[in-house]
Amino acid sequence: MNKRDYYEVLGISREAEEAEIKAAYRKLALKYHPDRNPGNKEAEENFKEAAEAYEVLRDGEKRQLYDRFGHEGLAGSGFRGFSGFEDIFSNFGDIFEGVFGFGGSGGRTRARQGKSLRYDLELSLEEAFHGKEAEISFHRLEACATCQGSGAKPGTHPETCGTCQGRGQVIRSQGFFQVSSTCPACHGQGEIISQPCQDCGGGGKTRVEKEIQVKIPAGVDTGSQLRLRGEGESGENGGPPGDLFVVIHVRDHDFFAREDDDLICQIPVSFVQATLGDTLSIPLLGEEDAYEFAIPKGTQPGEIIKVSGKGMTSLRGFRRRGDLYIKIVVKIPKKLNQRQTELLQEFAQIEGLALPEKKKRGKGKGFFKKKGH
């Protein structure tokens, strides 16, 4: 089944700002919330569809990939949608807080996925062509080893919040509805830590440095993302860790320019080579031997020679490499010796060109000489 356009799903323009995107999703999420539509399969599908659209459009990197390549462009980001309602609530619980008691934090016992992280990795064009294994180092929050993530001093335990009785929310009535909000005493955790752990300050997490090996596939380009599941920050209350997104940046090359899977280069030649033809050679990515190619007689300035299959390694599976485009740049000499000048004058005569003779400098009045002086 073909997926609908994410902007159409949320009913927003392609220029929508973050606040507008969130507001549009919140409206749809509350409309199709499963608690409001029990047993309604169509509402469930609309609820999941809206969550998927919001997840992509709220994320700058995913949104850029989607705007450029559509749904297929998200394959490189590792995004596969949501597995179910709990997955949605764990990511967007704040969207529903305080409205009809839906989707609140549910107290400290509720598991929540850890925060995902981003790492920017710079590569040369050669590295992007071949792919590589890179060791990266970054910092993340992990469960405190001293208190095992509880946040409480060893030997003690968190206490149930007396304000919300461990629910993490306080509920008050407004007319016919019950409105819930985050408990101000425990901040939605459902528990109070009276004796916090000294190592993590009661937060349950400590900042550590992590080193991992990342396999970069051949053909990546600037903006490509690698999703490393479980390498983000640790989850809350037994929830799964977040993910690490490695964002690729490919440096500009001195000789080749890149357009998707194709490579472009410029070769300067003299007007004699362009006129009479010649054979030249250039280096190629991924090949030790230089590539020889012929410049036909009468090649015009700006003419492009296409070499199939000698471009960039393709990240897509349907073809192995892109193409190479060689642009011919004809250089006109600024200085000629006497013999070169004579030969060109002779050539001009053969062509029937009437070249202007060089005028001798006289003593007449100049352009700026005032009349009568």
Find residue 177's DSSP bridge partners: 174
Write down the pLDDT at residue 236.
Answer: 78
Write down the pLDDT at residue 185.
Answer: 84
Write down the pLDDT at residue 351.
Answer: 84
Comparing C-alpha atoms, which of 6, 26, 198, 14 is closest to residue 96? Answer: 26
Domains defined along the chain, listed by start:
1-96 (1.10.287.110), 107-251 (2.10.230.10), 257-335 (2.60.260.20)
Strand, coil or helix: 161: coil
**Buried b / exposed e along 251-260 (16+ C-beta atoms within 10 A):** eebeebebee
User: What count of other Cβ atoms lies within 10 Å of the Cβ of residue 143?
Assistant: 21
Write down the pLDDT at residue 367.
Answer: 47
Q: Return all residues near 129 (Cβ < 8 A) that are at least 6 apart.
A: 218, 219, 285, 286, 312, 313
| Phi, psi at 213, each rounded to 5° | -95, 130
CA distance 315 to 128: 10
Residue with tokens 């597995």: 83
**DSSP character for 37?**
S
Comparing C-alpha atoms, which of 284, 288, 354 is closest to residue 322? Answer: 284
Write down the pLDDT at residue 34.
Answer: 75
pTM above 0.85, yes or no: no
Q: What is the mean pLDDT of each run of 10 residues along the chain (373 residues)?
A: 86 91 89 80 88 88 85 69 58 52 45 87 95 94 88 88 83 65 81 88 90 94 92 84 94 95 95 93 91 93 94 80 95 91 89 67 50 50
